Amino acid sequence: MTLPNYEFLSAPLWLVTTLHLLTLSLHFVAMNFLLGGALLVGHVARRGGGNTPMQIRLTRLLPTTMAATVTLGVAPLLFLQLVFPRQAYAAAIVSGWFWLLVVAAVLIAYAALYLCAGRSERSGRVSLPPLLLALMGLVYVSITYSAIFTMAERPDLIRALYAKDQSGLVWNPEWSDYLLRWLHMVAGAVTVGGFCVGLLGRNDPETYGTGKSFFVTGMALAAVLGFGYLLSLLPILVAFMRTPAIWALTAAIILSLGSLHFFFKKQFAASGVMLFLSLFGMVYARHTVRLLKLAGQFDPASWRVAPQWGPLVLFLVCFVLALAVVAYMLRLFFSPSERPA
């Protein structure tokens, strides 16, 4: 009996890649709001300004943002594992304990955010200890992801590290590969956090001002760190310049400046769209960097494609329906009610 061969992609690569990058960008929006929002709330509270209704409202929003971050993080992880399983799992196994601790860190951060929201609501002041605990968890998750997924782009490094230690207690020692990338992402989170806070507090000058200062500072930092990260890619920089990703990156930079411009004019819809497109452009550029780093060792285009059209269409239909149902529920939720449930 000839058994089915599992080494195939069940949809064209371009479609899987599009879904991967799209869902990853959506995950980043939620994650950036979460991390940036938490940093902002913590920063303001530490300076003694954490007792405004807007701060309390933000604190209350964080657990929901966490739920969105986790939910939106599942799909890109799935698509990543579909296309890059050999790289992603190998790196995760070498750092197995750190990888597994991500779940515990998220669990603790999530519970801490609920605790923070509950305490803050009852006391009228942002409760800092659980917020700091949540932030520690989020920072751990972000740097672990950066370390492992950067390692996944270097099969030679994985081999060398595994040969020395098989216990899963190996942390990616090549900090120069991912430190700037990680800091750039944290700065990006501050940017998006600032945008979201400014949007939520658009009618409150103090909150809007805080959001604006985070937005501007975050973007300036992200620009510097992003440029530094780009320079750290020197061995593949020339190849990168010859791909469409350089145009995507250029457009992303222009769009982020446009986003800032419209934010200053309080045209949040335009600013938000530009910010998201900018993020999407950077995600695409980062994806290209991954392909360039893996060049010669692995090419996703080498996958045999054997589409499963029925299940794929079912997914797309369910995806559209899910968006419609969520929109319907949000409409129900935000419609003024005559009699509370």
Question: Considering only residues 28, 79, 263, 284, which one is a binding residue for another protein as defined by CB under 8 A?
Answer: 79
Of 13, 67, 221, 246, the one binding another protein by CB under 8 A: 67
Per the structure block, which two tokens stand in for 213? 């200062």
* One of 46, 71, 173, 235 touching another protein (CB under 8 A): 71
Q: Using the rule CB under 8 A, is 325 a contact of another protein? A: yes
Question: In the chain, what is the greatest distance between 2 CA atoms, to the nearest angstrom?
Answer: 72
Q: What is the closest distance, in whole angstroms, from the C-beta atom of residue 60 to another protein in the complex? A: 9
| Alpha carbon distance 186, 181 (integer Å) | 9
CB of 256 vs another protein, minimal distance in Å: 28
Q: Minimum distance from CB of 165 to another protein (Å)?
A: 9
Report the residue from 231, 254, 305, 329 that binds another protein according to the rule CB under 8 A: 329
Q: Which of 66, 192, 205, 48 is nearest to 126 (CA)?
A: 48
The answer to whether residues 35 and 325 touch, using CB atoms and an 8 Å cutoff, is no
Distance separating alpha carbons of residues 294 and 312, to the nearest angstrom: 28
CB 315 within 8 A of CB 19: no
Question: Given candidates 12, 64, 241, 266, which one binds another protein under the rule CB under 8 A?
Answer: 64
User: Pattern 156-185, binding to another protein, x per CB under 8 A?
Assistant: --xx--xx--xxx-----------------
Could you tell me which residues come within 8 angstroms of residue 9 by beta carbon, excluding any fewer than 6 positions away?
A: 16, 82, 83, 303, 304, 305, 306
The span of 145-153, 187-195, 283-291, 309-317 binding another protein (CB under 8 A) equals 309-317
Contacting residue, 13, 21, 22, 77, with another protein by CB under 8 A: 77
Q: Considering only residues 85-124, where is the footprint of another protein by CB under 8 A? A: 85-86, 88-90, 92-94, 96-97, 99-100, 102-103, 106-107, 110-111, 114
For the residues of 11-75, what is the DSSP string, one character each?
S-HHHHHHHHHHHHHHHHHHHHHHHHHHHHHHHHHHTT-TTSHHHHHHHHHHHHHHHHHHHHHHH
- Using the structure block, give the residue that is written with the tokens 């590969």: 177
Rule CB under 8 A: which of 34-63 touch another protein? Answer: 63
Residue range at the interface with another protein (CB under 8 A); choices 51-59, 123-131, 207-215, 325-333: 325-333
Give the count of residues interacting with another protein (CB under 8 A). Answer: 75
The DSSP code for 301 is G
- Restricted to residues 249-308, the positions that interact with another protein (CB under 8 A) are 308
Smallest distance, Å, CB 200 to another protein?
16
Helix, strand or coil, per DSSP, at residue 233? coil
**Stretch in the footprint of another protein (CB under 8 A) among 39-47, 78-86, 144-152, 231-239:** 78-86
Q: Concatenated DSSP letters for 150-181?
A: HHTT-HHHHHHHHHH--SS------HHHHHHH
CB of 86 to another protein, least distance (A): 6
Q: Give dist(CA 83, CA 290) in Å, integer.
A: 12
304: β partners: 8
